[in-house]
C-alpha cells in the first residue's frame, strides 16, 4: 500500500502522530555545538541533550525523518548497498513510554493491514543477551513472544541460542546476541546508550554456506535485512568506562528509509528503488548508458547518485558548508570530485553535476524545503567546484604528458602529480594504461603509497592548519594565526591550546580551549600584542629539526610524528627574542609587516570549553 519513500515517510509520521507523538523537523546535517563529529549520523544525535534529561519544547514523545550522513564508508559506495546520505525515521520517548509500547507499535506499524502490511511470518528479532554488568533483556523477549503469538506464530521455544538456525516455520523468532550486535551508543565517547532490539526481514533467499553452517538474523549471507532498531536508552556511559542508570528511561528507534523502501518494493538494492530513478535517467541522457546494463557502469551510476545527493543536502542545509580543504567542506569536496571522476569514466567530459543536483533538488524539495531556498547556492557551489577540479585535471594531464614524453612514468611521478597538482592516482594509471596498454598496478601503487606515507604526517598537519590554499591572502592570515595563538597564551595563560583552525582568503578562524567569554580588555590586549609584532616587522624563519629538538626549543603545535621524524618549525622574532615558535607545514610571509594590521571581528563559543575567534588582516 505504501511503497514509495515519500509515502512511507508520510505513513510513518502519521502513525506516530496518532500515537501521541509531536512531529519535529529534521535537524541540521551539521551538528551544532558538537566538535566530536562532522555530521549528524543518526536520528538521536540532535536529541542527546533531551535524552539526558533536558525538557524538549515539543514534549516527551517525538518522531521525525532525520537527514543523516555517514562518512566512514565513502570508498565502499558503489556496491549495491552503501550510502553516505540517508534518511532515518525515528520515534522517541523521553522518559515516557518504554519497551512495551515501543515494541508493540513497531510490530503494529510493520504488520498492520492499514500500515506497511508486512507478512509477520517474515519477521525475526534480536535482543541483548546480557553480560557481566547488565542482564539478558528478558522483558523484550516476553513482549515479542506475546506479539508473535497474537499472529499465531509460535515463539514458545523462547530465545534461540547462537547455534540454532532461524527456521521460518518452527522454532524461535527471537535471537539473543552480545554487545556488538545488540547495544547502541553512546554516539561519542560518553553519553546515553542501552540495549537494543533489532527487527529483521527474512527475504527467504537460500542460505549461502560460505557464511557459516547455520543461518541466523545477523548472518552475513544476505538472507536477513535489518529494518528497524529500537534502543532502550536507560544508561549513560561515563568517562571512566562505567555505565550508570539514566534518571529517565528513553526509547530511541531508527529505521533507514531507503532500506525499508527497497524491502517493500521487493528490490534487492536501495538503488533499484524510485529514490534514485530520476538521477539515473539524467545520467542516461548524458551518457547513453542505462542503469542495469553493465555492472561496471552501474558502479559509476551509484557513486554519482549517492555523492551528488549527499553534497546537495550538505551544501543546501540550513547550516550548509561549501567545498574546502578542511572539516565538512573537505568531505563535500571529496564527494563531488569522486562523482566527477565517475562521470569521466562514463565518458562525460563537460560539467554535469549541476544537472544531477537539480534533479535531486526537484525530487526532495517537497520534503526538505531548504533545498529550494538554497537552490542557487547549491548549484553555484557545485559548479565552482567542478570548474576548479576541471582545471586541476587539465593541469595534471599536461604535466603527465610531459612525464610520458620524458620516459617511463613511475609511482613516484604519480605521487608528485597527486601531491603537487591534486591529480588522482587512478587517473594517472588510466591515462598510462590508455597509452601503453600495460601497467603494473601493484608496483606502481606500492611506490605511490610509500611516498604518500612519508608525507602523510606533513599533510595531516596541513589539514590541521586548515589552509584553503596558498594564496597571498591565506598566507598572511596563516602567519597572523601564529601570532594570535601566541598572544592568546600570553594574555590568557599557557592552558590555552589550539582546537582547530580554518583560513579562507577573507578571514582566519581559530578555535581554542578557554572556559568563558573573553573580556573586552583581554581581546584588546591580544589584538595589541599581535599588532605590535606586526609593527616591529619581525622576520619569519623556518628550520627543519627533530621532534625532540622542537620540543626543547619550546615550539607549540602538534607533536604527533614518530620519533626520528623531521618537522618544520616556524619562528617569528627578532634577534633579541622569539615571539612565536610553532611546528607547522607553512607557508608563511617573510616579515610580519606584510600583515598590515590585525583585527578580531568575533569571539564566540563553539562548544563547551571551546571558544572561536574570527579575525582579519587589512592593509
Ligand atoms: N540510534 C539507533 C540507530 O542509529 C536507533 O535510532 O540505529
Question: Does the predicted TM-score (pTM) go above 0.75?
Answer: no
Per-residue pLDDT of 554-574, as tens digits, reads 888 765 544 446 778 889 987
Q: Which cell goes with 495?
A: 592552558
Nearest C-alpha neighbor of 428 from the set 454, 469, 389, 398: 398
Going from the N-terminus, what domains does the chain have, and what CATH number goes with each? 5-21+87-264 (3.30.930.10), 273-394 (no CATH), 403-465 (no CATH), 472-618 (3.30.980.10)
Q: Give 539: exposed, middle or buried? Use CB within 10 Å, 0-12, 13-18, 19+.
A: middle
Residue 518 has pLDDT above 50, yes or no: yes
What value does the mean pLDDT take over residues 440-457?
65
Residue 303: the pLDDT is 97
Per-residue pLDDT of 408-448, as tens digits, reads 778 788 888 887 777 877 778 878 777 765 556 666 677 77
Ligand 1: does its nearest atom lie under 6 Å from the Cβ of 184? yes
Ligand 1: does its nearest atom lie under 6 Å from the Cβ of 254? yes
Residue 150 three-state SS: helix
The protein residue with its alpha carbon nearest to ligand 1, atom 3, reads 254
Ligand 1: does its nearest atom lie under 6 Å from the Cβ of 182? no
Nearest C-alpha neighbor of 581 from the set 589, 590, 571, 591: 571
Ligand 1: does its nearest atom lie under 6 Å from the Cβ of 44? yes
The protein residue with its alpha carbon nearest to ligand 1, atom 7, reads 254
Per-residue pLDDT of 124-136, as tens digits, reads 999 999 998 889 9
Residue 65 has pLDDT above 90, yes or no: yes
Distance separating alpha carbons of residues 121 and 317, to the nearest angstrom? 41
171-185, 315-329, 380-394: which is most confident: 380-394
The DSSP bridge partners found for residue 581 are 571
Top pLDDT among 171 and 309 is at 309
For ligand 1, the distance from its centroid to the CA atom of residue 240, given in whole angstroms, is: 24
Ligand 1: does its nearest atom lie under 6 Å from the Cβ of 512? no
Residue 466 has pLDDT above 50, yes or no: no
Residue 489 has pLDDT above 70, yes or no: yes
Lowest mean pLDDT across 380-389, 549-558, 579-588: 549-558
Ligand 1: does its nearest atom lie under 6 Å from the Cβ of 340? no
For ligand 1, the distance from its centroid to the CA atom of residue 429, given in whole angstroms, is: 41
Ligand 1: does its nearest atom lie under 6 Å from the Cβ of 191? no
What value does the mean pLDDT take over residues 297-322?
97
What value does the mean pLDDT take over residues 327-341?
90
Distance separating alpha carbons of residues 433 and 308, to the nearest angstrom? 28
What value does the mean pLDDT take over residues 447-460?
58
Residue 425: the pLDDT is 78
Distances (CA, A) of 469 to 135, 324, 476, 570: 54, 9, 12, 18
Residue 467 has pLDDT above 70, yes or no: no
Long-range pairs, 318-323, Cβ under 8 A, ≥24? 318/28, 318/370, 319/28, 319/29, 319/30, 319/32, 320/30, 320/374, 320/377, 320/378, 321/30, 322/381, 323/381, 323/384, 323/385
Residue 171: the pLDDT is 61
Mean residue pLDDT of the chain comes to 88
For ligand 1, the distance from its centroid to the CA atom of residue 42, given in whole angstroms, is: 6
Residue 504 has pLDDT above 70, yes or no: yes
Ligand 1: does its nearest atom lie under 6 Å from the Cβ of 187? no
Distance separating alpha carbons of residues 76 and 87, to the nearest angstrom? 18
Q: Which residues contact 524 (CB under 8 A, 6 or more apart)?
A: none
Residue 562: the pLDDT is 40
What value does the mean pLDDT take over residues 52-73?
94
Top pLDDT among 450 and 595 is at 595
Distance separating alpha carbons of residues 41 and 24, to the nearest angstrom? 17
Ligand 1: does its nearest atom lie under 6 Å from the Cβ of 91? no
Residue 578: the pLDDT is 80
Q: Hunting for cell 507478512 — which residue is that?
A: 119
Cβ–Cβ under 8 Å, residues 42 and 27: no
Ligand 1 pocket test, pick from 63, 184, 185 with the greatest ligand atom count within 8 Å of Cβ, gives: 184
Q: Which residues contact 380 (CB under 8 A, 6 or more apart)?
A: none
Residue 458: the pLDDT is 42
Amino acid at each position: 500500500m505504501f511503497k514509495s519513500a515519500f509515502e512511507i515517510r508520510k505513513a510513518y509520521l502519521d502513525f506516530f502522530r496518532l500515537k501521541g507523538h509531536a512531529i519535529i523537523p529534521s535537524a541540521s546535517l551539521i551538528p551544532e555545538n558538537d566538535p566530536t563529529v562532522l555530521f549528524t549520523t543518526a536520528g538521536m544525535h540532535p536529541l542527546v541533550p533531551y535524552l539526558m534529561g533536558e525538557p524538549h519544547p515539543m514534549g516527551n514523545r517525538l518522531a521525525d525523518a532525520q537527514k543523516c550522513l555517514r562518512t566512514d564508508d565513502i570508498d565502499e559506495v558503489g556496491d549495491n548497498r552503501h550510502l553516505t546520505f540517508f534518511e532515518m525515521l525515528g520515534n522517541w520517548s523521553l522518559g515516557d513510554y518504554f519497551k512495551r509500547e515501543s515494541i508493540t507499535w513497531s510490530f503494529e506499524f510493520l504488520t498492520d493491514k492499514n500500515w506497511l502490511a508486512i507478512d509477520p511470518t517474515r519477521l525475526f528479532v534480536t535482543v541483548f543477551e546480557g553480560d557481566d554488568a547488565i542482564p539478558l533483556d528478558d522483558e523484550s523477549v516476553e513482549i515479542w513472544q506475546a506479539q508473535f503469538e497474537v499472529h499465531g506464530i509460535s515463539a514458545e521455544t523462547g530465545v534461540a541460542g547462537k547455534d540454532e538456525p532461524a527456521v521460518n516455520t518452527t522454532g524461535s523468532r527471537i535471537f539473543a546476541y552480545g554487545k556488538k550486535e545488540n547495544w547502541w551508543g553512546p554516539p561519542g565517547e560518553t553519553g546515553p546508550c542501552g540495549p537494543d532490539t533489532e527487527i529483521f526481514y527474512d527475504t527467504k533467499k537460500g542460505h549461502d554456506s560460505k557464511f557459516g553452517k547455520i543461518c541466523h538474523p545477523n548472518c552475513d549471507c544476505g538472507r536477513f535485512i535489518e529494518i528497524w532498531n529500537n534502543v532502550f536508552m536507560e544508561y549513560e556511559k561515563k568517562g571512566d568506562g562505567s555505565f550508570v542508570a539514566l534518571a529517565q528511561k528513553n526509547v530511541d528507534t531508527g529505521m533507514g528509509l531507503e532500506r525499508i523502501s527497497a524491502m517493500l518494493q521487493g528490490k534487492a538494492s536501495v538503488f533499484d528503488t524510485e529514490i534514485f530513478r530520476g538521477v539515473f535517467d539524467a545520467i542516461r541522457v548524458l551518457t547513453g548508458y542505462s542503469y542495469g546494463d553493465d555492472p561496471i557502469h552501474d558502479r559509476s551510476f551509484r557513486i554519482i547518485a549517492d555523492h551528488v545527493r549527499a553534497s546537495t543536502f550538505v551544501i543546501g542545509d540550513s547550516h550548509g558548508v561549501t567545498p574546502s580543504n578542511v572539516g565538512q567542506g573537505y568531505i563535500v569536496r571529496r564527494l563531488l570530485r569522486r562523482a566527477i571522476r565517475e562521470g569521466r569514466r562514463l565518458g562525460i567530459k563537460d560539467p554535469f553535476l549541476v544537472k544531477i543536483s537539480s534533479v535531486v533538488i526537484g525530487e526532495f524539495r517537497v520534503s526538505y524545503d531548504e533545498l529550494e531556498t538554497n537552490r542557487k547556492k547549491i548549484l553555484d557551489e557545485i559548479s565552482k567546484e567542478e570548474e576548479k577540479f576541471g582545471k586541476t585535471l587539465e593541469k595534471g594531464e599536461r604535466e603527465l604528458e610531459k612525464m610520458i614524453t620524458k620516459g617511463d612514468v613511475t609511482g613516484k611521478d604519480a605521487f608528485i602529480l597527486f601531491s603537487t597538482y591534486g591529480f588522482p592516482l587512478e587517473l594517472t594509471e588510466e591515462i598510462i594504461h590508455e597509452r601503453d596498454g600495460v601497467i603494473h598496478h601493484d608496483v606502481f601503487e606500492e611506490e605511490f603509497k610509500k611516498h604518500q606515507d612519508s608525507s602523510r604526517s606533513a599533510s595531516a598537519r596541513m589539514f590541521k592548519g586548515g589552509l584553503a590554499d596558498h594564496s597571498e591572502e591565506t598566507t598572511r592570515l596563516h602567519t597572523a594565526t601564529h601570532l594570535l595563538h601566541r598572544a592568546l597564551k600570553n594574555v590568557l595563560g599557557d592552558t590555552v591550546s589550539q582546537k582547530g583552525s580554518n583560513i579562507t582568503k577573507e578571514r582566519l578562524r581559530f578555535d581554542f580551549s578557554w572556559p568563558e567569554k573573553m573580556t573586552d580588555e583581554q581581546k584588546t590586549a591580544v589584538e595589541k600584542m599581535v599588532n605590535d609584532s606586526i609593527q616591529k616587522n619581525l622576520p619569519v624563519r623556518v628550520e627543519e629539526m627533530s621532534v625532540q629538538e622542537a620540543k626543547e626549543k619550546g615550539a607549540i603545535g602538534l607533536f604527533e610524528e614518530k620519533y626520528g621524524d623531521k618537522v618544520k618549525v616556524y619562528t617569528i622574532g627578532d634577534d633579541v627574542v622569539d615571539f612565536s615558535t610553532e611546528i607547522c607545514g607553512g607557508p608563511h610571509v617573510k616579515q610580519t609587516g606584510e600583515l598590515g594590521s590585525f583585527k578580531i571581528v568575533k569571539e564566540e563559543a563553539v562548544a563547551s570549553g571551546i571558544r572561536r575567534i574570527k579575525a582579519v588582516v587589512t592593509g
